[in-house]
Structure 1
Amino acid sequence: MTVSDETGAGTRTAEKARRALTRWLGEDARGRTVWGRGRVLAALAVLTGGLLAFPGVVPNTPGRLGSLLESFLPWLGLVIVVLFGLAVLRRSATALIALLLPVVAWAALFGGLFRSAQAGDVDLVVVQHNVSDENDDPAGTARALAEAGPDLIALQELLPSALPVYQEALAARYPYHEVRGTVGLWSVHPLSDTRVVDIKPRDIEEYWSRGMRTVVHAPHGEFAAYVAHLPSVRLGVGGFASARRDESAERLARAIAAEDLGRVVLLGDLNGTVEDRGLAPLTSQLNVAESGFAFSFPASFPVARIDQVMARSATVSHVHTLPALGSDHLPVVAQLRWA
């Protein structure tokens, strides 16, 4: 190809681009310009941005719609993508500019979670996992969790029949463990002063024990470890049923607020995301993960992280999940640094 041919090809490409831009900027069949069309899309973009920036404006009554929105708040990013595609197809500059609002709001809320784990000091590595009362391979689950090499392993839905299997499989690497009710903690460090934490909702009359507290004597100093399994939530015709979960979260938060030790680590299936206002009694006094989405439920197609690691006087620097291990939850691994 000669220089003149290359110049001609470049000119034709530039001309095609100019014509395409002219068509995009031109008026539609109704005589509307790029500024006059797509106003509905622009309004939807502003609404999406408003929900991201101020989800608290959505009331929790009736049906706890506010908590429902907050549980899936990161997924509003998909709404942004759809609106962007429609704005391009609609050739609306107004809609594209309006989309800057939800993009900035989403990035401010969740952009930091894309950061990878930072190299540096890690004082504590923990695993949080609801092993499921239907798990048919507790020994395999225990071995896989131990292979991740954490200092602590917190488990929920421990059945009496499966407990000896976990104890035997974890004994070599984790000589210290405590179990209360259906929750337990395995540790490479000594444990002491273990007790039940009563987080049972008032309307549950049968035996129900899903909270415990123990002191971990680690090389960097002792700290209180709480293991909890809050009540499940349900989505039905009446809305988002989370009253029991919220009540249990308040009871757990009061126990942690009264904790004498300054350092606290909470590990649990909390059946809620950190954005959900139902967990505000906990998130208002504990630090949550700074990076990593780590969606943990359901294991077949995770859409939310309801398995949490939170801390007081410590930073939860990063979280990630392990592969599925016979449960409907994925295990969550967290790295912590003491303040």
Structure 2
Amino acid sequence: MSALLEKPRQSGRPTPPRRRRSRPALAIAVCLASLALALLLAAHVLVPRMLGLSLIVESALPWFGAAIPVLLVAGLIARSRGAVAAAVIPAIVWGVMFVPALVPLTQSAGGASGTLTVASQNVEADSGTAAESAQALAAQGADVIGLQEMDDTARAEVEAVLSESYPHSYGIGTVGVWSKYPIENAQALDLGLGWQRGIAADLATPTGLVSLYVIHAASARPADHEARDEMLANLADYVPRDENARLIMMGDFNAGSSDRSLAGLTGQLAEANQNGGGFGFTWPAAFPATRPDHVLSRGMDVTSNTTLRAGSSDHLAVITTLAL
């Protein structure tokens, strides 16, 4: 037989699989982006205030976590262990910062002395549904209802629907509070700007006085948030001077939970996790993306904390129950 017709001899060794080539440019980009994201998360307080940059970044800070899966996938596409490891760094930083706040609140029935349920909502001046909001919050069993962004018409409508069940009330400027318990020493809160957007009072509960503050902070926009910053700084100064061991501060602070301007308050007062977990975003109501509305407290354990759509406001309401 001719040698030309013979089959080629097998070497006996399998052909090695073709190695897919790494993408060094993509790997470097993932590493740099990952480190930049981790630095932004960990050191967001260093972001400059100019042009409203700090306000924008800190309002959206939890959402920066959405970039982490993208970086991980890009690291895998780049076939670089270093890039994948770099993408894990912002994931760890984000987890340390935000995961504790996502854990559902451990609910309890409260102490033997009972509970106090407070509700707060910015009812939106032009919504025309302040009374509807008030009725919805009353139906949730709130003992105290604090409302913000009311005009005279809205205040009168709320008073008409709440006065029978909530005989104690006080209002000034854009804020008002209605209570089943007596309100003592109620006064406008001087926040140094000459604006009537805050109330300070003593709430006479069956177990003694609880300090109550209802706040409607100045609006915060990227190019205009100095007034809000000053109001929150002055508000933080009231906390250590308050003589009551138990204190509740609620309202529209126009500052998300990650906003540095709120740190003076959250460093002294606690804000409970949500019953079902999550961030408890309250604005805008149609698709909540941040939380300018808060119930802060000291001296009492929170047994329930949730948000609720009430009326047609662009803010969700916050309803919190505390053990007396």
Report the TM range for the smaller structure's normalisation.
0.7 to 0.9
Aligned to 1:128: 120
Maintained 8 Å contact 1:290/1:317: no
Native 8 Å contact 1:200 1:209 kept in 2: no
AA aligned opposite 2:88: L
- How far, CA to CA, are the matches of 1:164 and 1:176 in structure 2? 14
CA distance in 2, matches of 1:319, 1:89: 42
Aligned partner (choices 207, 219, 230) of residue 220 of structure 1: 207
Structure 1 pair 194/138, CA: closer, same or farther in 2 (3 Å)?
same
Task: Supply the AA of the counterpart residue of 1:312.
Answer: R
Equivalent residue number for residue 188 of structure 1: 180
Q: 2:165 maps to what in 1? A: 173
Aligned length: 302
CA displacement at 1:300 relative to structure 2: 2.0
> Is 1:110 matched up with 2:98?
yes
Q: Distance in 2 between matches of 1:50 and 1:293?
A: 22
Deviates more, 1:288-297 or 1:218-227: 288-297
SS where residue 162 of structure 1 aligns?
helix
Letter in 2 for 1:329: H
Q: 1:154 to 1:102 in 2, by over 3 A?
A: same
Equivalent position of 2:282 in the other structure: 296
5 Å matches for 1:1-339?
26-28=19-21, 32=22, 38-60=27-49, 62-122=50-110, 123-199=115-191, 201=193, 208-235=195-222, 240-291=223-274, 292-316=278-302, 319-337=305-323
Deviates more, 1:189-198 or 1:46-55: 46-55
CA displacement, residues 71-115 of structure 1 (integer Å, 9 cap, x when unaligned): 211001111122223223333322221122111111111112222
Question: Over alpha carbons, which structure has the higher Rg?
Answer: 2
Q: Which residue identity is paired with 2:44?
A: P
2:303–2:321 CA contact under 8 A, matched in 1: yes
Assess if the C-alpha contact under 8 Å between 1:231 and 1:271 holds in 2: yes
Q: Tell me by how many angstroms 1:120 deviates.
A: 1.0
Q: Aligned to 1:234, what secondary structure does the other structure show? A: coil
Normalising by structure 2, we get a TM-score of 0.85
Report how far residue 68 of structure 1 moved. 2.7
Q: Distance in 1 between matches of 2:237 and 2:189?
A: 10
**Percent of pairs with identical residues:** 33
Q: Which has the higher contact order (CA 8 A, sep 6+)?
A: 2
1:187 deviates by: 1.6
SS of residue in 2 equivalent to 1:134: coil
1:324 Cα deviation from its structure 2 partner: 4.8
Shift of 1:285: 1.8
- Equivalent residue letter for 1:147: A
Contact 2:108 2:303 in 1 (8 A): no
**Residues of 1 paired with 2:150 and 2:307: CA distance?**
20
User: Aligned-pair RMSD on alpha carbons?
Assistant: 2.4
**Misfit runs of 4+, over 4 Å:** 315-318
Q: Is the 8 A contact 2:282 2:289 kept in 1?
A: yes
TM, length-normalised to structure 1 = 0.81
Q: Distance in 2 between matches of 1:325 and 1:91?
A: 52
Per-residue CA distance 1:20-66 (angstroms, 9 max, x = gap): xx88xx442xxx37x89612112211221222222123233x23423
